[in-house]
Structure 1
Amino acid sequence: MSVSRCWAVVPAAGVGSRMQAERPKQYLPLHGRYLMDHTLETLLGYKRFEQLVVVLSEQDPYWCDSEFAGDARIIRAPGGSERCYSVLNGLRALQDLAAADDWVAVHDVARPCLRHSDLDALFGALQNTAACGAILASPTRDTMKRGVLHADGTVAIDHTVERTQLWHALTPQVFRYQELTQALEYCLAHQLEVTDEASALEQRQRSALLVEGRADNLKVTRPEDLALAGLYLTPGK
């Protein structure tokens, strides 16, 4: 199955409360730029993408100061209360542009360390396959424990989980435009607020490929993650 045209959707409407910062994490400084500008530069520099949809809060006061606020390659869409609503809004912004079988890559705005080599691997895996899509993922390397929450708030080990087939889901996650749109619409119609796009396809009994990506494609969630991303993005690294 040949690769059709490709689009990217970047949900960026979250507030990032776990960062405990005075502004959403995508607008925190990283090497003298907004964190999100590192992410957008990587995506805009990837030649497969026709255009990017950036999904933003309608009350976002910071976007106008982004390096890419006036970039004609970017379409702005309104954010939703949860990621799944934002992604669906981003997909709907492409309804007059994308064909049903075009690929759409959904990427976390807070993953600024994405490399083009991982995008190549992701789209390469989709050539000549009947799979509905593919996601970047990282095999679990640590011993995994399932915990049990006690009444006093402490968490104890319940049992050790076999890690052989466990993967950390990363982004981008790539699916056909129409199928992803329909899967998200189905989930939201059934009050299923899925946390990633692959989960939406799973609700439709569709299974995506796991494509091993670089472990440094981290998601900035806590303050220490920002420092680590800064290290990975140091010029010359």
Structure 2
Amino acid sequence: MNNSIDKIIAIVPAAGIGSRMGAQIPKQYLELDGKSILALTLELLLSHAKIDRVIVALHPKDSYFSSLAIANHSKLQTVVGGGERADSVLACLNHIDEPCWAMVHDAARPCLTHSDIDKLIDSTDTFPQGAILASPVRDTMKRSDKQGNITHTVCRELLWHALTPQYFPADALKENLSLALAAKANITDEASAMEWAGISPGLVNGRVDNIKITHPDDLQLAALFLSQRTKG
């Protein structure tokens, strides 16, 4: 790994309530094949040989996490998250006091693979500034007006869907995320904070089945992907 940093800490912002799922509990605690989405995500990260520690940011009134079988894992640490994703990521970064790479992954992406994590880690020779998993846009893209009418077709060449994990030197991410939030910049993911600071993160082609569970239909699709891997 480049620039002599060989420690990797995964960060999982899990303080949201997932209102778009329309469920009675936060979406990260909905079950897939007998385990919560969050548990599956954490197990995937904790079982990777190159990830030294996992920090998960929880809602201050979270009453579910402690009941997970994985909650007391020796490599797992919890912190109190914030109102927005960026606040939760920063809360995790504030608990890191050593040079390392920060690998930020969505709690609701349980279909990540170890092979994609390896690709991201290996990308540091090409992208020492950091990189994200992403997938090229395959569909025709349309831009609309506020009334839902198509205004024009957007060229999909060089367009990518941003995925996670997103992987940056922890010190640089902490500094740029803090400054961007203080400037009230529109920060939608970690890469956007780095972009705001004038840094161009790399893109690492990831699997398209690394979906984020946002709507009820996504739950069924994720279950299908996971079951196919088990069969494979």
TM range (shorter): over 0.9
Pairing 1:158–2:151 present: yes
Residue pairs, 1:192-207, within 5 angstroms: 192-207=185-200
* Whole-Å separation in 2 of the counterparts to 1:86 and 1:11: 6
- The residue identity in structure 1 corresponding to 2:106 is D
Corresponding residue for residue 180 of structure 1: 173
Corresponding residue for residue 110 of structure 1: 108
Corresponding residue for residue 119 of structure 2: 121
Out of 221, 230, 237, the position equivalent to 2:214 is 221
User: SS state of the match for residue 126, structure 1?
Assistant: helix
What is the alpha-carbon root mean square deviation over aligned residues? Answer: 1.1
* Whole-Å separation in 1 of the counterparts to 2:140 and 2:71: 43
Question: Where does structure 1 lack aligned partners over 5 or more consecutive residues?
Answer: none
- The residue identity in structure 2 corresponding to 1:220 is I
Shift of 1:4: 2.1
* Whole-Å separation in 2 of the counterparts to 1:213 and 1:82: 25
Greater fraction of residues in helix: 2
* Whole-Å separation in 2 of the counterparts to 1:110 and 1:133: 22
Question: Where does structure 2 lack aligned partners over 5 or more consecutive residues?
Answer: none
* TM norm structure 1: 0.94
Identical columns (%): 46
Residue pairs, 1:33-182, within 5 angstroms: 33-95=35-97, 98-99=98-99, 102-127=100-125, 129=126, 131-150=128-147, 155-182=148-175
What's the CA shift string for 1:145-186, capped at 9, x where partnerless? 011113xxxx01010001011000000000001100001100
* Whole-Å separation in 1 of the counterparts to 2:152 and 2:75: 49
What's the CA shift string for 1:54-113, capped at 9, x where partnerless? 100111000011121111211111110000000000101112xx21xx211000000000
* Whole-Å separation in 2 of the counterparts to 1:180 and 1:47: 23
Shift of 1:131: 3.3
Which runs of structure 1 show a deviation greater than 3 angstroms over 4 or more consecutive aligned residues? none
- The residue identity in structure 1 corresponding to 2:231 is G
Corresponding residue for residue 27 of structure 2: 25
* TM norm structure 2: 0.96
Count of residue pairs the alignment pairs up = 228
- The residue identity in structure 2 corresponding to 1:144 is M
- The residue identity in structure 2 corresponding to 1:32 is G
- The residue identity in structure 2 corresponding to 1:110 is A
* Whole-Å separation in 1 of the counterparts to 2:47 and 2:57: 19
* Whole-Å separation in 1 of the counterparts to 2:33 and 2:143: 38
